[in-house]
Every structure is written in structure tokens, then in C-alpha cells.
Amino acid sequence: MGSFISKLILLTTVISIAGLPKAYSVELPSDNWNLNIFSYAYGEYSENPDSNGQDIALGETAIFVFGRLSDRLSVLTEVSLLPKKYREDTVKVERITLQLDLTDKHRLVVGKMHTPVNYWNDSYHHGRYFFPTIDRPLAFKLFVPIHELGFRFSGSQLGKYNFFYDVVLSSGQSAMDRGFANGVASKTVAIGIKPTEHLEIRSSLYQDRIFNHLQDPGHKHPMAMPTTGTDLDWQLWSGSMHFENQTFEMLAELSSIRSASRNTSHSSYLFAGWKWSTRVNPFIFTDLLNVNSDETHFLPGKRRRFGIGIKAFISDQLDLKVDLSTYDFQGAVPQSRRSALRFQLSIGI
């Protein structure tokens, strides 16, 4: 399966790149194919004595291809590249999907996709160019199942309030890219409305079974003692609210998980940006994540990040985000706190 996906991606990318007449403006030989490239660089300056003071790093480059195969059938791929210095897998298939438009309002998507559990994961994917802040919300490091291999039924533009829905049957987090070796291990139901063109509200429920969770790559609790039975059923609830008009942009991402323990863990991310001018948008954000002390899969503790920053649209293709932010962690492992002046230069062509 993995080999097949790699070959398909390679073929799609080569076909697309072969048609590029010039590097800056991406034009493909057919109107049915579209190629975009997103990349970024990251840097920070910190006075924290634990860090090395200054750090500059190259971020992942995402190659995005959209192909229209027929009126109703389209293919979408997103592959990320990163030098070995930064990541073990230099090439990763982030998304590869086939989409069938059943009607003008209902669709079926098959393949490896981003889960529609919240607005962020369903909109920004790996494009830092679109991120409102430098980082993803903290919940993405623990709670949010970013990718799944599965079947997604979607509908939108339904009724007066533009109701939309997603139902996903997928392989689950344990399966990674191995297909349905464990059958349908996870299910997602997401619903929402867009009552005005500026506002979107959504809520989702996600349920997954993590097989042998103590050995799972997503296991983030090194001190967890084996529990009776090592498979772990867990549920995630997410709620998102995104508002954007000509003056403001706001995003709220809330999530709550429940696993073997009866207690829940929570996270909340809040972003507010002001479109001060067409090229400069100041913003503030807070990001809180609280993992319950009874949790066995994720490391308990409180994580907090908050900051203030500016997003500058340098050109049509180039953005610069700068923020002054503080992150701290209070938990069982040594506690940490650091403040940094950070920047992210992102490009999208």
C-alpha cells in the first residue's frame, strides 16, 4: 500500500512539474491540473539559558497537486519534504485522496486525508502560509488525530444556515499508513453551520481504538503503568468557531478527550487578529492544554502558550509572521518555561 501510494505520488508530481514553463507562476499543460508549493523557514531568539539562544530552521515543503479527472472525479495529493537533518522521513505523503462529487452538495472522499475534527485540521493542513499563528494549537501535539486512511462522506450548503456534515470511517491512529489491517478502528462525525458568509461553527466526535497503546508511536506517557488490557478506547470532542470579515479574524478551537480514565482532559486555543491594513495584521493568541493526572496515554500536566504578534503580507506569495510568546509546562517531568521572539517566513506559489 505504502509503495503504491509513493509511486502514485511520484507519477502525479512528475507529470505536473513537467508542465511548468516557469518557476514563479505555476501553469500546467492542462486546465485540469493544478500545482502549488508551500514552504517556510523558522527562527527564534530566546534568552532562556536552557536553549542555545538563537535557532533557525528550514520547515517542511509541501507539494500540493489537484487534478480534475472528470466532471465528478478529482484527485488531490499533498507530499511534504524535509531534509534528513530535521526529520527521519524526508518524504511523507500527507494526503492522497480521490473525490467523487455525488451531487452538487454531497461528496465521497477516499484515501489518506486530514480528519475533519476541527476547523484548523480541515482547512490549513500543512500550509504554514495559511496558519494564523506560527504553531498549530498545542492539542495537535497530543489529542488531534491529524491523518487517517478512510472513507469520508460530506455534504455542505444545506438549508438556510448552510449546514454541513462529515462522516468518516477510517483505519485509526494505530494503523498509520498500513490500511485497514485492524478494520474500521475509528469513526468521526462532524457537523456545522455557516449562518453567514463570515462565520463557521462546527462540532465533532471522534472515536478510536489504539491497539497496544503502550507501544504505539503516539503514546506520550513514559511513566504509565500497564493497565488491564493494552488496547485503549478513547473519544475526542472538538468544537470550532471561525469568524472572518474585512476587519477581524477569530478562531476558537476547543477539545476534550476521554480515554481509559473516567476523567477528561481539555484544550483551548483562541486567536484574534485585526486587519489593521491590507498588509499588516496584528494578532494575539492563547493556547491551554490540561492533561488529567489519571491519563495513561498522554503525559499529564498543564501546558500554556500565549503571545502577541504580527502577520505581514510581504508579497502575493510571501508572508512573515513574528510573535513574542511564552510557553510553560507544569507536570510530572521537569517543569519548563521559556519566552522567545520567533519568526516564520512562509511562501505559497
- Choose, by CB under 8 A, the member of 231, 320, 328, 331 that binds other proteins: 320
Among 81, 167, 241, 312, binds other proteins (CB under 8 A): 312
Contacts of 56 (CB under 8 A, 6+ apart): 41, 42, 43
Integer Cα distance of 345 and 313 in angstroms? 10
**What are the two backbone dihedrals, phi and then psi, of residue 123, each rounded to the nearest 5 degrees?**
-120, -45
State which of positions 232-261 bind other proteins (CB under 8 A). 245-246
**For other proteins, which stretch binds (CB under 8 A), given 168-176, 260-268, 279-287, 296-304?**
279-287
Nearer to other proteins, 43 or 218 (CB): 43
Q: Is residue 81 involved in binding other proteins (CB under 8 A)?
A: no
Give least dist CB 103 to other proteins, A.
Answer: 7
73-81 and 106-114 beta bridge pairing: unpaired
Tell me the helix, strand and coil percentages in the chain, rounded to 5.
10, 55, 40
Does 333 contact other proteins by CB under 8 A?
no
**316 scored as a contact of other proteins (CB under 8 A):** yes
Task: Quote the least distance from Cβ 287 to other proteins, whole Å.
Answer: 19
Q: What is the footprint of other proteins within residues 39-68 (CB under 8 A)?
A: 45, 47, 64, 66, 68
| Number of neighbouring beta carbons within 10 Å of residue 326 | 12
Helices (H), 37-137: 119-123
Q: Decide whether 224 or 349 has the Cβ nearer to other proteins.
A: 349
Name residue 55's beta-bridge partners. Answer: 44
CB of 200 to other proteins, least distance (A): 11
| Smallest separation, CB 331 to other proteins (Å) | 26
Residue 258 contacts residue 293 (beta carbons within 8 Å)? no
- How far apart are the C-alpha atoms of 170 and 75, rounded to whole Å? 19
Within positions 120 to 149, which residues make up the interface with other proteins, using CB under 8 A?
A: 122-125, 127, 130
Helical H runs in 89-178? 119-123, 139-142
Q: Nearest approach, Cβ of 105 to other proteins (angstroms)? A: 8
HSE (CB half, 13 Å, CA atoms) of 264?
10
User: CA of 339: how far to CAs of 136, 284, 306, 307, in Å?
Assistant: 17, 15, 10, 9
Q: Between 35 and 142, whose beta carbon lies closer to other proteins?
A: 35
Residues 257, 327, 202, 111: what is their CA dihedral angle, to the nearest 10 degrees?
-80
Nearer to other proteins (CB atom), residue 99 or residue 170:
99
DSSP designation for 122: H
Cα(112)–Cα(97) distance, rounded to whole angstroms?
6
Nearer to other proteins, 129 or 234 (CB): 129
Given the rule CB under 8 A, which of 7-15, 79-87, 248-256, 307-315 is the region that contacts other proteins? Answer: 307-315
Query: Which of 167, 272, 322, 347 is in the footprint of other proteins by CB under 8 A?
Result: 322
Among 61, 98, 101, 264, binds other proteins (CB under 8 A): 101
Residues that bind other proteins (CB under 8 A): 31, 34, 36, 38, 45, 47, 64, 66, 68, 71-72, 74, 76, 95, 97, 99, 101, 103-104, 109, 122-125, 127, 130, 156-157, 162, 197, 245-246, 276-280, 282, 310, 312-314, 316, 320, 322, 324, 339, 341, 348
